[in-house]
Amino acid sequence: MDRLLEGRVAVVTGAGNGIGRAEAIGLARHGAKVVVNDIGTSYDGQGLSRGPADAVVNEIKSAGSVAIANYDSVATEKGAESIIQTAIDSFGRIDVLINNAGVVRNPHDIDEVSTGDWEILIKTHLYGTFYCTRRACSFMKKQGYGRIISTSSHTGFGWKGFTAYGAAKEGIAGFTRTVARDMAGYGITANAIRPIAHWRGTKGSLPHVAVNRPEDVASLVVYLASEQADHINGCIFEVWKGHVGIFIEPPPVQQVIKKDGSWTTEELAELIPRELTKGRSRESFSEVLHLG
């Protein structure tokens, strides 16, 4: 087997279980030295334990690879910076950052979403990705090399009950595209994945035909983390089973251009149903958008 990451140093957040665990093990199998970060909470953010991170580190070491555990939270600036610093202090550099840490909450309609749930989801997913990426890039720029792979989600397209989670995850998609442009001149790429895979928070809730094992997601992540993927930047990938898809920039699906001036409200009231929505009824839009 070709080892695509020989000599590289990787940080994987939320690596104690599920997709993050598979990513950490996959990166190590391909030669990377891995910082395995996990605070050891339940999938909904309850409790703390060093057990999950330690277990993954032991598994990597048992296979003959190199890993070290970190137990800090991505949801605080200090915690995120400590995660990245662990790589620098332990291995002298950071080449790959996998932003995977996250929590979920039970689905609620927007009027039932608590401020506490909103804050923990935004802080863990969006702030956590920002904090870790910002700190990692400060080192990657000096090295002239880096790979950043973050975790978005199809919930950002609009899944009922996932207001906070979807907002955070789609925020990560926009963040990724912008970071890709910021860092393009420094040998650094930034991409994201929208995985569908069984993990602690989805058991029994996803259709069997649509899901991977976490290891299937990790296969794509290892490739994106390698030098071979140096031409891929600012892209969002979707992954399930044998399917891999790529999103570049979301283009308009339909547009009408006025030759002179701007549209009035009266003109738009006539134009939009006729040209842009093609006469679709409210019911047909609900069906297409899975609004239920």
User: What is the DSSP secondary structure assignment for residue 108, as one 8-state letter?
Assistant: B
| Residue 208's pLDDT band (cuts 50, 70, 90) | very low
The pLDDT value given to residue 88: 99
**What are the φ/ψ torsions at residue 196 (nearest 5 degrees)?**
-125, 110
Q: Is the pLDDT of residue 209 over 60?
A: no
Q: Domain 9-247 is in which class? A: alpha beta
Q: Is the pLDDT of residue 206 over 70?
A: no
Rg from Cα positions in the chain: 21
Check the CA dihedral 147-148-153-158 and report its sign: negative
SS3 265: helix
CA 124 to centroid of chain Cα atoms: 12
The pLDDT value given to residue 45: 67
The pLDDT value given to residue 283: 54
Which residue in the list 71, 127, 131, 165 is annotated as catalytic? 165
Q: Is the pLDDT of residue 27 over 60?
A: yes
pLDDT digits (tens, 9 = 90+) for 123-172: 999 999 999 999 999 999 999 999 999 999 988 888 888 999 999 999 99
CA distance 24 to 37: 9
In the chain, where are the structural domains located?
Answer: 9-247, 253-292
Of residues 158, 191, 83, the one with CA closest to residue 128? 83
| Burial class of residue 59 (count of CB atoms within 10 Å of its CB; 0-12, 13-18, 19+) | middle
pLDDT digits (tens, 9 = 90+) for 237-266: 998 778 899 987 767 767 787 768 898 888
**Cross-strand pairs, 98:** 12, 149
Mean pLDDT of the chain: 88
Of residues 172, 177, 204, the one with CA closest to residue 190? 177
Higher pLDDT, 211 or 2: 2
pTM: predicted TM-score of the whole model, two decimal places: 0.88
Q: Is the pLDDT of residue 207 over 90?
A: no
**Cross-strand pairs, 179:** none
43 labelled catalytic: no
pLDDT digits (tens, 9 = 90+) for 44-99: 667 779 999 999 999 999 999 999 999 999 999 999 999 999 999 999 999 999 99
The pLDDT value given to residue 71: 98
